Structure 1
Amino acid sequence: MSETVTETRTTFVDHDGFRFALLTLENSGHRPVTLGPASLAGYAAAVSDLDLAGVDAVAVTGQGPVFCAGADLKSMTQAATPQQAEAVARQGLEALGQFAALPVPTFAFINGTALGGGLELALHADHRTAADSVRALGFPEVRLGLVPGWGGIPRTFALLGAAATARLVVTDSLAGKNLSARSAADLGLVDAVLTDEGFLAASLDFAAGILSGRSTAAPRAGFADTPADLDAVRTQLDARLHGAAPAPYRALQLIAEAAAAAGSAGNEAAEICAFGELLLSDEARASIYAFQLTQSLAKKPAGRPDEEPLPVRSVGVVGAGLMASQLALVFAQQLRVPVRITDLSQDRIDAAMSWIAGQLDKLVNRGRLKAADAEAIRALITGGTDKAAFAHCDVVIEAVFEELAVKRAVFEQLEPHVRPDTLLLTNTSSLSIQAIGATLARPERLIGFHFFNPVGVLPLVEIITAPQTDETTLATAFELARRLRKTAVLTTDTAGFVVNRVLTRLFDEVLALIDEGSDPGVVDHALDPFGLPMTPLELLQFIGPAVQLHICETMHQAYPQRFGVSRSLTSLVAGGLPGYLDHHGGISPATAALLPASKAANPDKVRASLLGALAEEVTAMLDESVVAGPEQIDLCMILGANFPFHTGGLTPLLDRETGSAFHPKLRVPIPAAG
């Protein structure tokens, strides 16, 4: 896989009495600027070839919306030996180090996105400016199973101290968060934030001011770190990851070493060693695979037809519960088209409208939405009890109780009121699309469009086709997902689709073991070593026992040989209990009274049983062609169930732990020493 080569163009600029050598990173292929071996070599050559005679300063900048998006992942993951892996870090440190060692003042003019190696490049300059529109400054490495390997940790520590470095490199990275230009300036990571218009000229003005002494960089706030700061982050990692992902722990170790070095250049040998070891780890390969999935399949979803989609200029929502209210808000906010809600009761409509207004107020108060925009969105959403109001809607989606007869009745009542070309969406989480539309006169315009809760946060939409769904309906559904800023995964009309089918198989195995008397605590925490976001019983409690019981019953009807209906879950719902757990995460006394006397359980055997069940179910899903391939299952679990990157979604984890072969190429054979 060849590298997308970034070129470094050198020009000389006279500005305000000073002469600047300006290095501009650019990509002739109109791809985002990244740094692979050839790009780094070209950058290093451009720096070493500079004729500094008469030059007062050197600056580096990018073009368009990107300064530098970081290391080239395609070329980086070709490393197959420790020597090759360490060479990735060593070459970057040497190339960026040449820039830092120049005998004249250096500047980075951050015109756009600066992530990972791109931010590290900027940190090798003496001073940094950033355009006001920049919204992505950060270190994604830890989320990718790596650590910043080109000096990012010691250089950030020198500016911000240990606590802030840990936040940027570890905590924000795992959360997928980046800094805006202004947030970076507030922290002290950049010296000045300048307007986008005329950014280069304004940056040169700033640099000339520094050189002339007319102006100085903003003073650093200073920091007073203690070892407890890093200990607190490590404690949080233990609670969340249980040691599952090595990268954040190695990053903390490097931060501690930078602190011990008292702001010196840092321990490059330790940095190179850590980066090299992590690059060859299963977790890094799975993480990079997961990242590339979320980028590539989000832009080019499998199964999207070439058919021209229908326009969507107005939307109807059947139902006024929490899910329906979330849908109405997302449609209005993202599409900026009129949205009409209906329900059987005006009181329910009024409650939904009140909830929507409250959510918009929260967005304004948090600075995520302007007051004028909130008012405009609020005005787009109206409600009432008459389905005739849907007569001119281009799309109508139902979000009513998850019962086949109820959903089928909704569409039977709805169809006479809408145009023949109105797109009909069902937000069902597990029911058959074909069965829901069985009584429709035009079932070809019905399609499953399954959102995940909370709708405004989770980016996945499962698009489910029935045999009668036509190409125009499918194309319109894909385009609608894109406009809603959701990632769409196409599935066939099988019970549970992807996410709920996988999770229900997990719940089924967990509850079967508990119902047989295995220690509930051991069973619930058996998967902790993989650092999943919740234990199975925590997730079941979040979903709600009644909802999950209904899904379990649906899955049992479809696949009685693999899915059962738990005795304890049935009793739990009958007793009106909120879940298996108390407020401290243990089995509640009320639940314990419903369970058999527990016996000791071997966590390794429990773990093997759970993973074996998941591997069996994924294999069955692929055999049934529920999705195009294992990549779609992984994408669903990442975006719909919050599986962390280091698991690769699901199938890379199953490969490693069960000997499956969904993605054997993700594992890198490391030659034996000697």
Structure 2
Amino acid sequence: MTTAETVSDVVVSRLEHNGFRFALLTLSGSGGRPATLGPASLEQLGAALDAVETPDVDAVAVTGTGKVFCAGADLDNMLKAETPEESEGIARQGLNVFGKLAALPVPTFAFLNGAALGGGLELALHSDHRIAAASVRAIGFPEVRLGLIPGWAGIPLSVALMGPEATARLVVRDALAGRHLTARDAEAAGLVDAVVPEPEFLPAALDTAAAILADGTTAHRPQPSQAGWADALKAARRELDSRLHGAAPAPYRALELIDRTVQDAAFPEAEIRAFGALVLSPEARASIYAFRLTQSLSKNPAGRPAADPRPVTSVGVIGAGLMASQLTLVFARQLRVPVLMTDLSAARLDKALDWIDVQLAKQVQRGTLTKATATQIRGLISVTTDKQDFASCDAVLEAVFEDLAVKQNVFAELEPILRPDALLLTNTSSLSIEAMGAGLAHPERLLGFHFFNPVAVLPLLELVRTPQTDPASLATVFELAARLRKTAVLVADTPGFVVNRLLTRLFSEVLALIDDGGDPAAVDRLLDPLGLPMRPLALLRFIGPVVQQHICETMHSAFPDRFRLSATLHKLIEAGLPGYLDDDGDVPPEVRALLPAARSVDPAGARSRIIAALADEVEHMLAEGVVAGPEQIDLCMILGANYPFHTGGLTPLLDRFAGTSHHPRPASAGSLRTKDSISA
């Protein structure tokens, strides 16, 4: 027997199952969206809990709709807070409402039908028992990545269930990495009491709940150990220092609160104050802006034409180096179409296939692919040394040496072989697309299709159009990017495009300091207060001096007044050295011998110089119309250069440190309205 009534976005059902009477509260968002928790929805949930007549039921359960249990707190509401009283009030309201669930005099359950993130997980943790669907793959706390902390008792409740070390891993490390727990992971960790199969999730969850009620006890949970926490806390702080250098306060506050929980479990005011302060912090505002940006512009890229895309049912890749091998594997795995790779040397092709085989075997071993699927993907990949075999390809991407003449020769040889409407794509990182197609009969179908390394990990694709690009070709590359599960940003055909142009301006300033006598190790640490994903000289070593010098030369040719060439980098390349620093961050003697006479560098002044240069380059790019606006620049730096959310991509960081203003402040983010509710 089931009856139901609606309290706004909370449907309260009364049902009997296996002899037990349940009050089931089903959360939903307006317009069929996932449930989120803002002032109104929390008030509605509180009213629904108040309305439950506990003498008439044996248990109360909360569940969600579709594939989401609850997406968490409404971030829009947090952006409206302007005072500590308002920001702390967000925490107080949630704790008050969730406390009503925890205080009910009957057993309570959270039926996790789908994702339970942030405040959604905190809601579940206030119940006595949690039962999850086996298909759930997103249980966790993303707050720290958003510049916040769990503000509705998520930290003490998690410590009570998992212990401090596991809580730190979930709240800090996993959050910063963008990782979540699956239902099985959460069960193993102690957050979830039982996992039941689908598609009949609700009956199975009710069966499990009825069995628990019949047993007459709460969940049998071992007391989590706190042994070794002090050492784990020190290690976690060292890891944060090595990555963030104190630039983002949220993860440090989270660790402090976990430690405070271990020392004294009763401290709600400390948690409320810490949450309230972070809500108002510039890092949180920038992080929320970055999150909204990746959600909105990833789904609705600027510049996509209305033309119908042409079908792409087969792809060719020119080249067999590491980048070409990565591209071949990504095309085969994501598109599930035949992919043909060519090179001048059969031996290089064999080496590329060996690399692909190893990568597929690793994915099978990790469980991300089944053996059958890996075999299917491998069967789509073939090789040839004869470019005539590319005649049937719908799109061909070149990934050969970064030299304009070489790439022009590749396309000149390839164009007569292909159909006139087949796409010609280049993975160039900085060269002119228009110059590349100057001698082609059909330059309108040539576009830049610039991936970032590692290809399988970084989601950005810089789509580079020229004045000759036709709408159908542009629509086709947008569609192709979407099928590859990449985020496409349309950029103008200008040297360095977005990411490499900005990184090279940064390198230009950093290397100028070294050329002028600055110690490389000290110069490398100048930008630590910004919390960038990698120090400049470590990044240069990853890219390789030769490759970076080539990009620097391209940028210097285009903008000699802003991109100077480095004498010490040239000497480094002549000496065959991999970088300025060794693996320990020290300057080796052989590098020291190439450097000019040492002089001291003022850290604050040098840092201001670099930040001012980046702000200047952004202004030039916006004036030139390289992208549609500053939001696209920020998106590129987040998805292509792995800039963390607390930077806002780049322009909010520059606004904060350089006093510039490239767009409406992230605090309001009024220009970034998304279709879906934004939550954590």
Same fold (TM over 0.5): yes
Query: Corresponding residue for 2:308?
Result: 308
Give the 3-state SS of the residue equivalent to 1:21 in structure 2: strand
Give the 3-state SS of the residue equivalent to 1:458 in structure 2: coil
How far is 1:174 from its partner? 0.7
Query: Corresponding residue for 1:12?
Result: 14
Q: Distance in 1 between matches of 2:469 and 2:514?
A: 41
Q: Distance in 2 between matches of 1:82 and 1:217?
A: 38
Q: Pairwise mapping of residues 470-481 of structure 1 onto structure 2 (< 5 A)?
A: 470-481=470-481
Query: Corresponding residue for 1:47?
Result: 49
Query: Corresponding residue for 1:369?
Result: 369
Deviations 1:117-170 (A, max 9, x none): 000000001000111111110000000000000110000000011000100111
Q: Distance in 1 between matches of 2:369 and 2:222?
A: 31
Gap regions ≥5 residues in structure 1:
669-674
**Residues 667 and 22 from structure 1, CA distance in 2 versus in 1: closer, same or farther, beyond 3 angstroms?**
closer
Query: Corresponding residue for 1:201?
Result: 203
How far is 1:340 from its partner? 0.2
Query: Corresponding residue for 1:260?
Result: 263
Name the TM-score, length of structure 2 as normaliser: 0.96
1:238 to 238, 241, 244: 241
Give the 3-state SS of the residue equivalent to 2:89 in structure 1: helix
The alignment status of 1:120 with 2:122, answered yes or no, reads: yes
How far is 1:594 from its partner? 1.1
How far is 1:27 from its partner? 2.1
How far is 1:242 from its partner? 0.9
The letter of the residue matching 2:614 is L
Q: Distance in 1 between matches of 2:478 and 2:440?
A: 22
Query: Corresponding residue for 2:25?
Result: 23
Contact 2:330/2:484 (<8 A) preserved: yes
Contact 2:652/2:665 (<8 A) preserved: no
Q: Distance in 2 between matches of 1:465 and 1:575?
A: 38
Q: Distance in 2 between matches of 1:546 and 1:302?
A: 34
Query: Corresponding residue for 2:545?
Result: 545
**Residues 216 and 272 from structure 1, CA distance in 2 versus in 1: closer, same or farther, beyond 3 angstroms?**
closer
Contact 1:6/1:34 (<8 A) preserved: no
Query: Corresponding residue for 1:177?
Result: 179
How far is 1:519 from its partner? 2.3
Deviations 1:195-248 (A, max 9, x none): 121100000000100000189746437323332221211111111111111101
Q: Distance in 2 between matches of 1:366 and 1:283?
A: 35
The letter of the residue matching 1:170 is V
Q: Distance in 1 between matches of 2:362 and 2:223?
A: 31
How far is 1:665 from its partner? 2.4
Query: Corresponding residue for 1:659?
Result: 659
Contact 2:146/2:288 (<8 A) preserved: yes
Contact 1:451/1:462 (<8 A) preserved: yes
Moved more, 590-599 or 118-127: 590-599
Q: Distance in 2 between matches of 1:58 and 1:152?
A: 21
Q: Distance in 2 between matches of 1:214 and 1:377?
A: 52
Give the 3-state SS of the residue equivalent to 1:416 in structure 2: coil
Q: Distance in 1 between matches of 2:219 and 2:382?
A: 52
The alignment status of 1:628 with 2:624, answered yes or no, reads: no
Deviations 1:457-476 (A, max 9, x none): 11100000011011111111
The alignment status of 1:414 with 2:409, answered yes or no, reads: no
Query: Corresponding residue for 1:96?
Result: 98
Contact 1:12/1:19 (<8 A) preserved: yes
Q: Distance in 2 between matches of 1:215 and 1:147?
A: 32
Contact 1:6/1:26 (<8 A) preserved: no
Contact 1:499/1:636 (<8 A) preserved: yes
Contact 1:128/1:191 (<8 A) preserved: yes
The alignment status of 1:507 with 2:510, answered yes or no, reads: no
Contact 2:79/2:667 (<8 A) preserved: no
Q: Distance in 2 between matches of 1:432 and 1:174?
A: 36
The letter of the residue matching 1:482 is A
The letter of the residue matching 1:172 is D
Give the 3-state SS of the residue equivalent to 1:417 in structure 2: coil
Query: Corresponding residue for 2:334?
Result: 334
Give the 3-state SS of the residue equivalent to 1:125 in structure 2: coil
Give the 3-state SS of the residue equivalent to 1:10 in structure 2: strand
Q: Pairwise mapping of residues 477-626 of structure 1 onto structure 2 (< 5 A)?
A: 477-626=477-626
**Residues 362 and 218 from structure 1, CA distance in 2 versus in 1: closer, same or farther, beyond 3 angstroms?**
farther
**Residues 104 and 300 from structure 1, CA distance in 2 versus in 1: closer, same or farther, beyond 3 angstroms?**
same
Give the 3-state SS of the residue equivalent to 1:628 in structure 2: coil
The letter of the residue matching 2:659 is G
Query: Corresponding residue for 2:404?
Result: 404
Give the 3-state SS of the residue equivalent to 2:316 in structure 1: strand
How far is 1:588 from its partner? 2.0
Contact 1:339/1:382 (<8 A) preserved: yes
Q: Distance in 2 between matches of 1:423 and 1:606?
A: 45
Give the 3-state SS of the residue equivalent to 2:32 in structure 1: coil
**Residues 667 and 19 from structure 1, CA distance in 2 versus in 1: closer, same or farther, beyond 3 angstroms?**
closer
Contact 2:549/2:569 (<8 A) preserved: yes
Moved more, 209-218 or 494-503: 209-218
1:139 to 128, 141, 146: 141
The letter of the residue matching 2:552 is C
Give the 3-state SS of the residue equivalent to 2:397 in structure 1: strand
How far is 1:6 from its partner? 7.3
How many residues align? The count is 661
How far is 1:664 from its partner? 5.0
Matched-pair identity in %? 64
Deviations 1:263-284 (A, max 9, x none): x4x3111111011100000000
2:155 to 142, 153, 156: 153
Give the 3-state SS of the residue equivalent to 1:584 in structure 2: coil
Contact 1:20/1:55 (<8 A) preserved: yes
Contact 1:188/1:221 (<8 A) preserved: no
How far is 1:522 from its partner? 2.1
Query: Corresponding residue for 2:109?
Result: 107
Query: Corresponding residue for 1:671?
Result: none
The letter of the residue matching 1:140 is P
The letter of the residue matching 1:107 is F
Q: Distance in 1 between matches of 2:280 and 2:382?
A: 55
Q: Distance in 2 between matches of 1:173 and 1:654?
A: 25
The letter of the residue matching 1:31 is R
The letter of the residue matching 1:149 is G
Gap regions ≥5 residues in structure 2:
1-6, 669-680
Contact 1:36/1:71 (<8 A) preserved: yes
Give the 3-state SS of the residue equivalent to 2:441 in structure 1: coil
Contact 1:62/1:110 (<8 A) preserved: yes
Deviations 1:627-652 (A, max 9, x none): 01111111111111111111111100
Query: Corresponding residue for 2:295?
Result: 295
Contact 2:21/2:56 (<8 A) preserved: yes
Q: Distance in 1 between matches of 2:442 and 2:216?
A: 74
1:186 to 177, 185, 188: 188
Moved more, 343-352 or 569-578: 569-578
